[in-house]
Amino acid sequence: MPELPEVESLRRMLLESARGRKIVAAAIREPRLRRTVADDFIRKITGRGIDAIDRRAKYLLLRLSGAATLLVHLGMSGSLTHRGKDFADLEFDPAHDHLRLELDDGSALVYNDPRRFGLMKLVDSFELDSVQELRGLGPEPLEDGFNPGYLFRATRRRRAAIKNLLMDQRIVAGIGNIYACEILFRCRIRPGRAAGRITRREAGLIASHTKRVLANAIGDGGTTFRNYRDSRGQPGRFAARLQVYGREDQPCYACGTPIKCRVLGQRSSFYCPKCQH
């Protein structure tokens, strides 16, 4: 599933290529996504300009003229590409091009999603903070609100595994399975350790490495294992820098011990049994 770095990378690319454009037409080939696209979606979105593009957690926010916002979640396998005449779409099966927004320069924003777990929802911009998907989210990990003091307080008396706490969107918004594993490896903390056992010093390490790992991943365009592609249809490059995720039984880059994998919260968690404690 695309996480914060993938969505932030996508946001920055679309900000350069799609901001200022006008949606002149729209087409829905398959409305049955995670939630069915509303019947009046085409009527309400056509004619609006793309004024700005923001992100909250793993959601992309296309700020449209007329105080409307297109809320986009890529789900498990979705991609939102900006396709012009030079776009190479060989990676995309047209059968999964579920929604298309035609822009005034002849290009198009196309939502492709083989598994259809994504979300495309048009909402009133003034009510954005109260919509179900964004309500109750924790601080953004790259902003000042996510700091050692905040994280240390959030872990007190918590029996949940520290990795599960980092993935709890109510605690911190946007971190998923890949980056939680990578952050904890760099902190030398096992993913299954109870959050309440994290020391103040370790909370500082987690906060620091979270910002560093996410920033590096954004710089590399995110991580691609299967489906994720950026707005140009290109895969993310951070996979080459992963230390533990997806490396079960392969030697740890730091000590040579085989990487282990255990299930926490129904998600595979990768760690080095020697380096992490």
CATH number at residue 81: 3.20.190.10
Catalytic residues: 2-3, 58, 267
- Examine residue 20 and state whether it is found in any structural domain, yes or no: yes
- Examine residue 107 and state whether it is found in any structural domain, yes or no: yes
Both 120 and 192 in a single domain? no
Both 120 and 55 in a single domain? yes
pLDDT at 225: 56
- Examine residue 139 and state whether it is found in any structural domain, yes or no: no
Angle in degrees, 0-180, between the axes of helices 4-17 and 200-219, rounded to the nearest 10 = 40
- Examine residue 110 and state whether it is found in any structural domain, yes or no: yes
Both 98 and 189 in a single domain? no
Q: What CATH number is attached to the domain comprising 194?
A: 1.10.8.50
Last residue of a domain, one of 130, 162, 185: 130
Both 29 and 95 in a single domain? yes
- Examine residue 66 and state whether it is found in any structural domain, yes or no: yes
- Examine residue 140 and state whether it is found in any structural domain, yes or no: no
- Examine residue 238 and state whether it is found in any structural domain, yes or no: yes
Both 114 and 40 in a single domain? yes
Domains identified in the chain, total number: 2
DSSP per-residue string spanning 24-51: EEEEES--BSSSBPPTTHHHHHTT-BEE
Task: Determine the structural domain holding residue 198 and report its residue range.
Answer: 148-271
pLDDT at 274: 98
Query: What is the block-wise mean pLDDT of the chain (277 residues), using blocks of 10 residues?
Result: 89 94 97 95 98 97 98 92 80 90 96 94 94 95 97 97 97 96 98 98 98 92 65 70 95 98 95 98
- Examine residue 13 and state whether it is found in any structural domain, yes or no: yes
Both 181 and 211 in a single domain? yes
pLDDT at 239: 82
Both 163 and 249 in a single domain? yes
Q: For tokens 């454009």, what's the residue? A: 21
pLDDT at 233: 64
Query: Under a CB-based contact definition with an 8 Å cutoff, are residues 22 and 50 in contact?
Result: yes
Q: For tokens 């910002």, what's the residue? A: 211
Last residue of a domain, one of 102, 130, 158: 130
Last residue of a domain, one of 78, 95, 130: 130
Show Cβ contacts of residue 277 under 8 Å, excluding neighbours closer than 6 positions. Answer: 188, 189, 190, 193
Both 159 and 251 in a single domain? yes
Both 156 and 237 in a single domain? yes
Tell me the sheet residues that pair with 27.
100
Measure the CA–CA gap between 191 and 148, rounded to whole angstroms.
18
pLDDT at 127: 94
Both 35 and 126 in a single domain? yes
Q: How many CB atoms lie within 10 A of CB 148?
A: 16
Both 116 and 152 in a single domain? no
Both 125 and 156 in a single domain? no
